[in-house]
Structure 1
Amino acid sequence: MVHSLVSICAKEVVSDHSSSPTWLRWVPRELYGPLLEASFACCRPLAVGELVQRWPERTLRIGGRSKAGQTAPSRLCIQALLLGVVRGLTDRSALQILDISGLQKDEGGIGEPMGGWSLTVALCTMVVQAKAGAQRAQRKEGDRERKRFSALERERDLKRERGQRIESRALQDDETCGEKAGSKGPISEQDLIKGVRRRMEMERKRGIVATGSGGSKPETEEKEACCEVLVHVRADLFVNARSWDRVRSALSAAGPLKLQCRYLRVEEISVSSIRTLLNLLPRRALLGIDIRYSFLGVAGLAELLPLLSTFPELNSLRLHYCNLDIRRESFGQEEVLRNLSQGLANLQELRQLSLTTLRLPGQLRVLLSLPQPLEVLELPYLSLSPADLAYLSCSHHASSLLQLDLSDNCLDETTVPSIRRLLSQASSSLQHLSLSGCGLTDGLLSRLLPTLAGCWALKSLALALNPLSLAGLIALVQTAARMPCLRQLLYPNPLEDYQPGLPDLPSSAQLLEW
């Protein structure tokens, strides 16, 4: 990897944090980006925090696709990034949009990156703390305003009393002059005092009314200022039972930081909790949802789909191990399937659909009743029937597929024609294909190889855990060598390499065990 002169100089500048006060004030805005990248690369969390706190641009994007040779930011740097955003709120930095979508990595990797769950908890904590800090600042400002109003009121009272004393003396002088001049209507001292008191009470009441109307104003301004959004935070959220309360508090918090979710992943959460979570999300931010290990059932999924249709940009839906099983007949099953089909049909922008271990044999037509053709279709462990594969090969999705995963679905003589038809329809678009663990023998593979050779756009092919002999593997490699775009081939061990005792037609689990 060739480093530019700017990146080399930036790494040298951020290497010594003790010198940051001398150079940070003179840095032009064009160099903040290279300095921040160097701070992440060299793991300088203090430099990260100071740069983000003074960020001069309206938008800051961290994450997404990493460059070649670039490692994920460390946990300390991410924590310093979030702390810098909060500190920048008081300094009124130019930052308005923080986009950290795709920043989370697997837990425990090289450089201690922050995983999805940890990053979600840290983000939600930051949002809640920023709201609490804004409320404290508003309360202090309100106290100062109230003290200032009280001081002004006392000053007005003193001036009013001083003026009233002068007026009283003037009236007394006028009365004395009138008595000397022999006035016909003399004013007694008691009447004079009553008139002065009456005027004082009237002025005091007017002052109280004015102060009361002004006293409610700071409270209103405090509430409005507390609800003012200064920075929109876009991120991917990973929610499970342990982080559920924290995420709900952050999404419902009205403070200077507004949390927006791009891709939502939930695990082991009930249907009602998922529904509550979706109601808290901004409608135009969510792009995809991934539900795993949750007891949804067909009825629960049919209940969630109308709510998912309210997100206009939703293009990805992933369901893994959600206990969708209709192999057993139950009352009202046809109506539930009809609702499921209608709910999926309302997802107008859906382009990626991943369904794992749902056990819905013969119902692929219901699951693929989408108005627009899919680009990514993953159906592993789905117990697909020959009728399912026949429907898929003739559906409007076949010619637009970029990625197809049919792993661990049993293929035999009755399903090979449907697979060949499907691959022929997708030959010009298909880039990634997985047929691992599908029980492909040498004979079945020989019938598929001519069709696979016609998929000229294919970049990766996975055929692991299939019972192929060494002769079958040689034929596979010879075909793969003639495919112009193929860059990755995942093949199984030949049957000759296994220890004795393997069945004649072993399953993928038996191949993995042996």
Structure 2
Amino acid sequence: MCSLSQAILPLMKVKVDGSSMGAKEPRAPLKVFIDLYLSIGSHDEWLTSLIEKAKQWKGLLHLYCNKLSIFALSVQNMKVLKMVRLYSVQDLELVCNWKLSVLGKLLSLLPYMGKLHRLFLSQTQMSQCSSWEEEEQFVETFSSQLLSLHHLQELHLESISSLEGSLCSLLRCLRSPLKILSLTNCLLLESDLMNLSKCPNTRQLRGLCLNRVILMDISSETLEALLENVSSTLQVLSLEECGIMNLQLTAILPALRHCSQLTTFSFSGNPISINVLLRVVRHTIGLTNLRRVRYPAPLEFYEHVGDGLLATLQAKLMQMLQELGRSDMEWLSGKPCPHREWPFSDLWPMPW
């Protein structure tokens, strides 16, 4: 498959003679399909040429974009956005450290993206100066924009400080059932998770990520209800670095065992003992679709660092799986310290 520059640059050499077009049939616009990555200084030569040509041709060159990633709001990037047929965007990524008010203005573009399937929103640096009123206004604005997204299937929110106590406002504005919901490094209350378990449009989730969402103060009953409501469809579950302890994990094992479609489960970075880890093995052994599990280095490891305990445990797990007829399962050990070496995007069974 040729590169975008190879495909587009030859087309740019086509001449449009405006003086002779009056006697001819109007020329059909040239459609150019591109993926855009907009950051500071991200424009290469071919994109700059494309923008200039689009200006010159005045409506005879239409830019379509399937995947749009925005990392900076420069004047040049805003000019590019004005040229793109926003209704063609299906995958939008916004990674920013802007003020909530600026981010809210950018989200006002969402109603023009009616075909959007995937939305990834990340605040790389949580604003320390946002007032309560600004956070409330942001949630209200974001929620109202979601009302126009009738085809949204994936929602990924990372480090969004204003979600605490406001998740219900977002969830009730969903217009279609989600396949994937990822809430990473967000502050959530128990009421948020209770609303998540009750929302009709999150009951058919195939993927659920709550990585680095502190769950130690969330009741086991709430977590159980959340898992039970998605048990018939859930394929990927990630609960990394959530502060889940022995009692909580043990309590949700029966609900986890009902997730018959589960293929991948990660709970690394949580303070779990060896005994509870072995209990997880016994409870999940009957999940015939489960192939990949990521578990934490157990608490006992910290008392005996360097004596080969982790390698011994890994060997024991492999032996257990073989004896139980599940040599097709892959159990991977996490590092002793929380680490982001296993990106959530790598967990999904492809294609959807």
Tell me how far 1:128 sits from its aligned partner: 4.9
- Runs of 4+ aligned residues of structure 1 deviating over 6 Å after TM superposition are 224-227
The TM-score normalised by the length of structure 2 is: 0.74
Report the counterpart of residue 134 of structure 1 in structure 2. Answer: 14
Whether 1:362 aligns to 2:168 is no
Deviation track 1:402-456 (CA, whole Å, cap 9, x = no partner) reads 1110011111253322111011110111111100111122211110111100111
Partner of 1:434: 238
Establish whether residue 353 from structure 1 lines up as the match of residue 155 from structure 2: yes
Distance 1:509 1:462, change over 3 A: closer
Kindly tell me: are residues 335 and 489 of structure 1, through their superposed partners in 2, closer, same or farther at Cα, counting changes over 3 Å? closer
For residues 313 and 448 of structure 1, do their structure 2 counterparts lie closer, same or farther at Cα, with a shift above 3 Å needed?
same
**What residue in structure 2 maps to residue 512 of structure 1?**
338
Note closer, same or farther for the CA distance 1:334–1:438 as it changes in structure 2 (3 Å cut).
closer
Alignment partner of 1:318 out of 99, 117, 120: 120
Give, as a single letter, the amino acid of the residue that structure 1 aligns with 2:218.
T
Aligned-partner Cα distance in 1 for 2:199–2:128: 23
Alpha-carbon shift at residue 304 of structure 1 (Å):
2.4
- Given residue 127 of structure 1, which amino acid in structure 2 is its aligned partner? I
Amino acid at match of 2:167: L
2:89 maps to what in 1? 286
Give the distance between the partners of 2:215 and 2:129, measured in 1 at CA.
Answer: 20
Cα contact 2:87–2:112 (8 A) shared by 1? no
Go from structure 1 to structure 2 and tell me whether the alpha carbon gap of 1:340 and 1:324 turns closer, same or farther (over 3 Å shift): farther
Specify the alignment match of 2:300 in structure 1. Answer: 496
Deviation at 1:334, TM superposition (A): 4.0
Report the 3-state secondary structure (helix = DSSP H, G, I; strand = E; otherwise coil) of the residue aligned with 2:203: helix
Q: What is the CA deviation profile of residues 131-156 of structure 1, one whole-angstrom value per residue up to 9, with x for unaligned ones? A: 2x224xx7xxxxxxxxxxxxxxxxxx
Q: Is the 8 A contact 1:248 1:277 kept in 2?
A: no
User: Partner letter of residue 194 of structure 2?
Assistant: A
Is 1:219 paired with 2:19? yes
Contact 2:253 2:283 in 1 (8 A): yes
Match of 2:313 in 1: none
Gaps of 5+ in 1: 1-61, 63-80, 83-122, 139-216, 502-507
Shift of 1:220: 3.1
- Computing the radius of gyration over CA atoms, which structure comes out larger, 1 or 2? 1
Q: Which residue of 2 aligns with 1:340?
A: 142
**Aligned to 2:150, what secondary structure does the other structure show?**
coil
How far is 1:472 from its partner?
Answer: 1.3
What are the within-5 Å matches in structure 2 for residues 160-171 of structure 1? none
**Structure 2 CA distance for aligned equivalents of residues 330 and 440 of structure 1:** 29
The 8 Å contact of residues 271 and 296 in structure 1, kept in 2 or not, is answered as no
Q: Find the aligned partners of 1:325 and 1:220 in 2 and give their Cα distance.
A: 56
Deviation at 1:481, TM superposition (A): 1.1
Q: Is the 8 A contact 2:100 2:130 kept in 1?
A: no
Distance 1:510 1:220 in 2: 72
* 1:97-116 correspondence runs (5 A): none
Q: Contact 2:115/2:149 (CA < 8 Å) preserved in 1?
A: no
Q: Structure 2 CA distance, aligned partners of 1:406 and 1:510?
A: 20
> What's 1:380 paired with?
184
| Aligned with residue 419 of structure 1, among 213, 223, 230 | 223
SS of residue paired to 2:293: strand
Give the equivalent residue in structure 1 for 2:37. Answer: 238
Give the match for residue 483 of structure 1.
Answer: 287
User: RMSD in angstroms over aligned alpha carbons?
Assistant: 3.3
Aligned to 2:317: none
Q: Percent identity?
A: 25
Cα distance between partner residues in 1 of 2:216 and 2:280: 18
Question: Residue 512 of structure 1 aligns to a residue in which SS?
Answer: coil
TM-score using structure 1 length: 0.53
> 1:345 deviation in Å?
2.0
Q: Is the 8 A contact 2:126 2:161 kept in 1?
A: yes
CA contact (8 A) 1:251 1:259 kept: no
Query: In 1, distance between residues paired with 2:11 and 2:25?
Result: 13
Q: Which has the higher contact order (CA 8 A, sep 6+)?
A: 2
* Matched position secondary structure for 1:317: strand
